[in-house]
């Protein structure tokens, strides 16, 4: 390398690094790319380009380090409200934007030597918004790593697909209907073995475990009967059998921390409380530790491709910022509605873990900070009486799903269809953020 070239190249590098320090504020206007072009232009011959490569690489690495999206420095010691606001978020280095930009690009520029030092290649593999969401929810749950999907069911699917034919799954009998259907209708045909057991009964769990049980699937509070699984006790039994323990935490994000109670994996349908406004579909698997099983889930994520769009990731991460406060309000409202229903003469039974009469109340009080926004109740006169309540409500909307700001009412047996185990008189409520007095008045007139 000639002395003249070295002198020239170091001049270029100095001016490029000046530009790069500017570029931290505004790399869109002055991003250092012209510095690379200038080095290449001055080298003229292919041999000189090859010689210049180490310097170009150094220049590029510096630039990327400076431009890379900076995530805010949350610490595990932070309180949940602080984590929810800041985890996964950071100031955009390109513009200073406080709200994270949405990166719609499906493809990302390669480095000169063919690598992807900025960490992104193709959006199915990874995307800045998905990475932000995964980091955010992982931090909130206290996990090591997360993989986001286009729906909660997509996330569930990835966990089951990471198992091998012949593995046995033990699932909670009152888990979300779609989860049991997925196991029964798809995975049994693909060679998984499965049993369903009431996981609020520890003796039944012990009895149902088999030598080939690789995974136990819990959900608490469960859907639609709000059964409570003692997470710490079941985790111990499942671990003694050498299996992984999964908790579907969709109904109680923030209110319970399954990793602290022994879960290995947490699942969320982020369609629900994380999104919080019934306008986005998503799911996520969070792992307590990064191991081979999680690597399999990750490869299923990008090789099978059930990934969320950047905009959906952005919406879910935005929803997370208010999650702890919304969960508090959902829970307070639900407690008031449950107390009202428990005293109504047309109601046979109320399923809400916040009520002292609930069989899982004590366990729930030990493992949840509040009891959540979901409840179900049975009217005395069966299906017709239940349907008449749903026809008469004015604030409660007749719709499936949960976790939004608006209250929803649903006749579970008819939505679940043939094979449902839900009682014909059972109605499920997703309690929203309206005033509890208005919700109670609405139910009161509908029950008359
Ligand atoms: C507890 C629970 N887990 C998983 C799911 C599936 O989520 P998604 O509808 O986002 O696929 C649901 C959906 O209602 C659910 O309630």
Q: Would you state the CATH architecture of domain 128-321?
A: 3-Layer(aba) Sandwich (3.40)
Ligand 1 atom at minimum distance from 400 CA: 14
The DSSP 8-state label assigned to residue 282 in this structure reads -
What mean pLDDT do residues 255-264 have? 98
Distance CA 217, CA 40 (A): 57
Q: Domain-by-domain residue ranges, the chain? A: 3-67, 128-321, 324-447
pLDDT at position 93, please?
Answer: 84
The domain made up of 324-447 has a fold known as 3.90.1150
Determine the distance separating the centroid of ligand 1 and the alpha carbon of 246, expressed in angstroms.
Answer: 15
Q: Do domains 128-321 and 324-447 have the same CATH topology?
A: no
Determine the distance separating the centroid of ligand 1 and the alpha carbon of 250, expressed in angstroms.
Answer: 7
Q: What average pLDDT does the chain have?
A: 88
What mean pLDDT do residues 355-378 have? 98
**Residue with the nearest Cα to atom 2 of ligand 1?**
176
- Helix (H), strand (E) at residue 218: strand 213-219
**Catalytic residue set:** 124, 176, 248, 272
Distance CA 147, CA 423 (A): 36
pLDDT at position 415, please?
Answer: 87
Both tokens assigned to 36: 């690379």
**Residue 232, CA atoms < 13 Å, CB-side half-sphere:** 9
Determine the distance separating the centroid of ligand 1 and the alpha carbon of 36, expressed in angstroms.
Answer: 49
Give the mutation target among 148, 150, 220, 223 for probing the ligand 1 site: most ligand atoms within 8 A of CB: 223
Mark residue 401 as left, alpha or beta (left: phi above 0; alpha: psi -120 to 50; beta: remaining).
left
Q: Tens digits of per-residue pLDDT, 394-416?
A: 999 999 999 999 999 999 999 88
Q: For residue 65, is pLDDT > 90?
A: no
Give the mutation target among 269, 273, 283, 402 for probing the ligand 1 site: most ligand atoms within 8 A of CB: 269
Record the pTM: 0.86
Please say whether the beta carbons of 445 and 392 come within 8 A. yes
Name the percent of the chain lying above pLDDT 70.
85
176 CB under 6 A from ligand 1? yes
Distance CA 106, CA 125 (A): 10
pLDDT at position 47, please?
Answer: 61
Residue with the bigger pLDDT between 77 and 235: it is: 235
Q: For residue 29, is pLDDT > 80?
A: no
Please say whether the beta carbons of 202 and 240 come within 8 A. no
Tokens 């009412």, residue?
409
């Amino acid at each position: 390398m000639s002395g003249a070239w070295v002198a020239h190249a170091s001049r270029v590098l100095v001016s490029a690094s000046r530009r790069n320090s500017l570029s931290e504020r505004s790399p869109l206007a002055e991003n250092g790319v012209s510095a690379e072009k200038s080095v290449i232009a001055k080298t003229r011959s292919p041999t000189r380009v090859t010689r210049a490569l180490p310097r170009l690489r150094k220049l590029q690495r510096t630039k990327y380090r400076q431009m890379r999206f900076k995530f805010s420095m949350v610490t595990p010691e932070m309180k949940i409200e602080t984590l929810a606001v800041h985890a996964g978020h950071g100031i955009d280095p390109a513009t200073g934007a406080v709200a994270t930009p949405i990166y719609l690009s499906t493809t990302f520029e390669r480095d000169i030597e063919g690598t992807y030092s900025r960490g992104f290649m193709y959006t199915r593999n990874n995307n800045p918004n998905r990475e932000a969401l995964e980091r955010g929810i992982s931090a909130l749950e206290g996990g090591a790593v997360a993989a986001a999907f286009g729906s909660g069911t997509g996330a569930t699917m990835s966990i089951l697909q990471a198992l091998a034919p012949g593995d046995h799954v033990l699932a909670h009998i009152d888990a979300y209907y779609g989860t049991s259907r997925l196991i029964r209708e798809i995975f049994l045909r693909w060679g998984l073995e499965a049993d369903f057991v009431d996981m609020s009964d520890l003796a039944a769990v012990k009895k149902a475990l088999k030598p080939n049980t690789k995974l136990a699937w819990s959900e608490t509070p469960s859907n639609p009967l709000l059964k409570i699984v003692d997470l710490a006790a079941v985790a111990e039994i499942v671990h003694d059998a050498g299996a992984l323990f999964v908790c579907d935490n969709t109904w109680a994000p923030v209110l319970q921390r399954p990793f602290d109670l022994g879960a290995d994996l947490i699942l969320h349908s982020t369609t629900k409380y994380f999104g919080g406004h019934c306008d986005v579909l998503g799911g996520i698997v969070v792992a307590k530790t990064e191991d081979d099983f999680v690597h399999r889930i990750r490869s299923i994520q990008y090789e099978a491709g059930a990934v969320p769009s950047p905009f959906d990731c952005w919406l879910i991460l935005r929803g997370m910022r208010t999650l702890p406060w919304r969960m508090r309000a959902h829970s307070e409202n639900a407690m008031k509605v449950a107390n009202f229903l428990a005293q109504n003469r047309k109601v046979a039974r109320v399923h809400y873990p916040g009520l002292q009469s609930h069989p899982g109340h004590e366990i729930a009080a030990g493992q949840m900070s509040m009891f959540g926004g979901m409840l179900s109740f049975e009217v005395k006169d069966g299906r017709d009486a239940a349907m008449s309540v749903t026809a008469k409500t004015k604030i409660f909307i007749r719709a499936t799903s949960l976790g939004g700001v608006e209250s929803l009412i649903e006749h579970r047996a008819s939505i679940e269809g043939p094979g449902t185990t839900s009682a014909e008189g059972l109605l499920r409520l997703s309690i929203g953020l309206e005033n509890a007095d208005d919700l109670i008045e609405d139910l009161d007139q509908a029950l008359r």
